[in-house]
Amino acid sequence: MALTPDTTTIGFVGIGVMGKSMAGHLLKAGYPVHVYNRTQAKAEDLIAAGAQWQDSPSALAQRCNCIITIVGFPRDVEDIYLGAAGIINQAHAGSVLIDMTTSKPSLARTIFTEAKKKGLAALDAPVSGGDLGAREARLSIMVGGEPSDFEAALPVFQVMGKNVVLQGPAGSGQHTKMANQIAIAANMMGVCEALAYAKKAGLDQETVLKSISGGAAGSWSLTNLAPRIIAGNYDPGFYVKHFIKDMGIALESAAEMKLETPSLSLAKSLYERLAAQGGNDLGTQGLYKLFS
């Protein structure tokens, strides 16, 4: 059965840079929404808009039939879903669990298997598009799981994103997100080096951007993040610390498949240098600081 506002109560765990906007869109679409976040203050705007606060993921899972999570790290996902007090053991049979965190494909498969034992559906559905995509409800959502569960959850996904694709069985969404992050990692190095080169050559960076963003060099990062770099805005649409986590997962998965990813290894080493200089909480465009 499709997860529509008249049949579905949503539980949303993780009210961060992206989660706050995503949960807000679901509220505006008419879904009853219950929220949990480790820091309740971050959820106050949603509560004021009509969301109901719950004191734990387990309490939330007991009151909702669609539970969405978007948290920081795989260990957070594991803590939230598995174990006696985890969502899988607390949710009612027939509920749909959707993890939108960028996490390990192997963990997504484990959650799927354990959920099935309890009569629950589970989808891994990481997203791309950053804070802007979340605010404008045009995220790219990459989904792994069973086709019937994907079809049931599609109305929920379509409230938050514009490009929603079932990639394959459990774990496929996470593998697709790894491919996405590999492409972004190499591209961000190029964006930063290009802007640094333009400045060193005595060019106006904004004028250069007008020429190269519409040509073969064009990319989402060049269009959306290069202007932030030029303006000296390094606020996070996506945190450096989370990007380093993602690159680590991608490198681990690539090694398991015996695939060489030299550009990914270089990008991770550069971001780790930035983090060591205090850049963990910058946006990914903060890599430019190493070149400026």
**Separation of alpha carbons 219 and 189, rounded Å:** 12
Question: pLDDT by residue for the chain (292 residues), tens digit each?
Answer: 899 999 999 999 999 989 999 999 999 999 999 999 999 999 999 999 999 999 999 999 999 999 999 998 999 999 999 988 999 999 999 999 999 999 999 999 999 999 999 999 999 999 999 888 999 999 999 999 999 999 999 999 999 999 999 999 999 999 999 999 999 999 999 999 999 999 999 999 999 999 999 999 999 999 999 999 999 999 998 899 999 999 999 999 999 999 999 999 999 999 999 999 999 999 999 999 999 8
Q: Which residues are part of the catalytic machinery?
A: 177
pLDDT score recorded for residue 131:
87
Tally of domains in the chain: 2
Residue 99 to residues 68, 121, 174, Cα–Cα distance (Å): 6, 11, 10
pLDDT score recorded for residue 1:
85
Asked if residue 2 is part of any domain, the answer here is no
pLDDT score recorded for residue 190:
97
Residue 158 to residues 100, 162, 163, 249, Cα–Cα distance (Å): 14, 6, 8, 27
Same domain? 47 vs 112: yes
Asked if residue 4 is part of any domain, the answer here is no
CATH of residue 120's domain is 3.40.50.720
Asked if residue 33 is part of any domain, the answer here is yes
pLDDT score recorded for residue 267:
98
pLDDT tens track for 60-110 = 999 999 999 999 899 999 999 998 899 999 999 999 999 999 999 999 999
Other Cβ atoms closer than 10 A to 32: 17
Same domain? 196 vs 281: yes
pLDDT score recorded for residue 157:
98
pLDDT score recorded for residue 287:
98
Question: SS3 for the chain, per residue?
Answer: CCCCCCCCCEEEECCCCCHHHHHHHHHHCCCCEEEECCCHHHHHHHHHCCCEECCCHHHHHHHCCEEEECCCCHHHHHHHHCCCCCHHHHCCCCCEEEECCCCCHHHHHHHHHHHHHCCCEEEECCEECHHHHHHCCCEEEEEECCHHHHHHHHHHHHHHEEEEEEEECCCHHHHHHHHHHHHHHHHHHHHHHHHHHHHHCCCCHHHHHHHHCCCCCCCHHHHHCHHHHHCCCCCCCCEHHHHHHHHHHHHHHHHHCCCCCHHHHHHHHHHHHHHHHHHCCCEHHHHHHHCC
Query: What b-and-e string marks burial along 92-118, b requiring 16 or more CB atoms within 10 Å of the CB?
Result: eeebbbbbbbbbbbebbbbbbebbeeb
Same domain? 190 vs 158: no
pLDDT score recorded for residue 120:
98
Query: Which own/partner contact pairs does 58-62 have at CB distance under 8 Å and 24+ positions apart?
Result: 58/85, 58/86, 58/87, 58/89, 58/90, 59/90, 60/11, 60/13, 60/34, 60/35, 60/36, 61/11, 61/87, 61/90, 61/91, 61/95, 62/90, 62/91, 62/92
Instruction: Note the pTM of the prediction, 2 decimals.
Output: 0.93
Residue type at 116 in one-letter notation? K
Q: Which domain holds residue 67?
A: 10-169
CATH of residue 261's domain is 1.10.1040.10
Same domain? 184 vs 160: no
Same domain? 145 vs 54: yes
pLDDT score recorded for residue 17:
87
Find, among 189, 181, 220, the residue nearest to 286 by Cα: 189
* Residue 144 structure tokens: 């792994």
